[in-house]
Amino acid sequence: MTSGYGDYTKKVFDTSGSLGYALQRAPAIDHFNGTIGTVATTISLTAITVSLLIENTHSTNNILISFDEGSTWKTLGPGDSLSMDTAIEEFDIKGSDADTTYECLAGRV
């Protein structure tokens, strides 16, 4: 069994003896803001992520996010955010109307 994060992890055991993995150093954080329209845009990250936060910063428009090249979409309403631990290199994003704004934090090792 491996952690998926290579040399950046070490094996650890909790008090019950279960094996797990812990990061040996804090990941770097890529932070970017964007403005999108109704046509899907692919966001390519600088490296494979370990965590991702996407926030809809628009006051009235929705943003839609896809992790499967646009087959399915997750909708975030105004002010909503999506946070997850994941290993991805890119995602697609679009707005429900023109000039929809968002903010993204991507943690990487």
Edge-to-edge strands, sheet with 49-56: 28-36, 100-108, 49-56, 81-84
Residue 2: the pLDDT is 43
Question: How does pLDDT run along the chain (109 residues), one tens digit per residue?
Answer: 444 444 444 545 555 555 555 555 556 888 999 999 999 999 998 888 888 999 999 999 999 999 999 999 999 999 999 999 988 899 999 999 999 999 999 988 7
Q: What is the domain partition of the chain in residue ranges?
A: 26-108
Question: How far, CA to CA in Å, does 71 sit from each of 8, 56, 83?
Answer: 33, 21, 20
Domain 26-108, what architecture? Sandwich (2.60)
Dist CA 32 CA 95 (whole Å): 17
Residue found by looking up tokens 């704004």 in the block: 101
**Could you tell me if 48 and 33 are in contact, meaning their C-beta atoms sit under 8 angstroms apart?**
no
Buried (b) or exposed (e) across 60-79, using 16+ Cβ within 10 A? Answer: ebbbbbbbeeeeebeebeee
